[in-house]
Amino acid sequence: MALVRYDTREVQFKLVYCGPPEGGKTTNLHYIHRRLDSYLRGDLISVATDQNRTISFDFLPIHTTEIEGYQTRFQLYTVPGQDVLSETRKNVLAGADGIVFVADSTTSRMDSNLNAYENCRNALEENRIDPDRLPFSFQYNKRDLADATSPDVMDQMFGVKRASFFACATSGYQVFATLDDLTKQVIKGFHSQTIRKERGRGVSRRESEVAVALKS
Ligand SMILES: Nc1nc2c(ncn2[C@@H]2O[C@H](COP(=O)(O)OP(=O)(O)OP(=O)(O)O)[C@@H](O)[C@H]2O)c(=O)[nH]1
Ligand SMILES: [Mg+2]
């Protein structure tokens, strides 16, 4: 749920990168952190093992445009992909405003992709978030590998009806395109469901902003 702070005129969205173990979630955040100017982002915090396996989460705050007079911030998180860390995944997914699902295109990882997708949807439901109403962007990562599964097959597997992104997170290919797609969906939802609704009822801007803040 978006966090709106009237005092500091900020709106904050939580975007979570989910997906199978070692699919490239952390690599996405590392690339975004490397490429964004430092005034646009905070520090990247990673809680990982010596082998760079995420054990808790990665966290990267980014500050972008102003919407409706509010400074907009996105908090990017990754969940840990390892099967045994499902409770941690559920905690990281609490309050998510949108999901980047990073699937591994390696042919042998299709079952793992599906398990992770199912697990992600279940964890959202346990957090009382309807996965069918939440903005999702699908990224099919590791397209550089020779045995990458066809994107059409992956679209079918996940039931994806909108554009998916064929990425290589190590080189950064389509990493920002995926993030842009999700932020647009999230902002569109925010406008249509909150600010415009309140204005349509004739509530003043100030009251509308307070109402949004109270809901979150
Ligand atoms: N070939 C290739 N390797 C990739 C790509 N993206 C990530 N990797 C590699 O895949 C491995 C796992 O990447 P991570 O980003 O740590 O994966 P993760 O999804 O965060 O893994 P967990 O935190 O354990 O769930 C690393 O060795 C990456 O360098 C890619 O696009 N192509
Ligand atoms: Mg990771």
Q: Where are the domains of the chain?
A: 3-215
Q: Which residue owns the Cα nearest ligand 1 atom 23?
A: 54
* pLDDT tens digits, 78-111: 999 888 888 999 999 999 999 999 999 999 999 9
pLDDT in tens, 147-191: 999 999 999 999 999 999 999 999 999 999 999 999 999 988 877
Does residue 58 surpass a pLDDT of 50? yes
Residue 196 has a pLDDT of: 58
Mean pLDDT of all residues in 11-22: 96
Cα-based torsion angle of the residue sequence 133, 129, 6, 32 in order, rounded to the nearest 10 degrees:
-80
The predicted pLDDT at position 195 comes to 60
Q: Ligand 1 atom closest to Cα of 145?
A: 1
* Ligand 1 center–CA 22 separation, angstroms: 5
Question: So what's the pLDDT on residue 201?
Answer: 54
pLDDT at 193: 66
The residue whose C-alpha atom lies closest to atom 2 belonging to ligand 1 is 142
Contact criterion met (CB below 8 Å) for 76 and 62: yes
Residue 215 has pLDDT above 50, yes or no: no
**131, 124 Cβ separation under 8 angstroms:** yes
Correct CATH for 3-215 of 3.40.50.2300, 3.40.50.510, 3.40.50.261, 3.40.50.300 = 3.40.50.300
Q: Which residue has the tokens 């647009």?
A: 184
Counting ligands in written order, the one closest to the CA of 109 is 1
Q: Tell me the percentage of the chain whose pLDDT exceeds 70.
A: 88
Distance 27 CA to ligand 1 centre (A): 6
Ligand number with the minimum distance to the CA of 167 = 1
Residues 41-58 have a mean pLDDT of: 87
pLDDT value at 208 more than 70: no
Amino acid at 79: V
Report the distance separating Cα 42 and Cα 26, nearest Å. Answer: 16
Distance 26 CA to ligand 1 centre (A): 7
Q: How many CA atoms lie within 13 A of 67 on its CB side?
A: 22
Alpha-carbon Rg for the chain in angstroms = 17
Closest residue by Cα to atom 27, ligand 1, is: 22
Q: How far is residue 152's CA from residue 164's CA, in Å, rounded to a whole number? A: 10
CA distances from 113 to 20, 36, 138, 141, 168 (A): 5, 29, 11, 11, 16
pLDDT of 206 strictly over 50: no
Q: Supply the pLDDT for residue 194.
A: 61
More confident residue, 211 or 10: 10
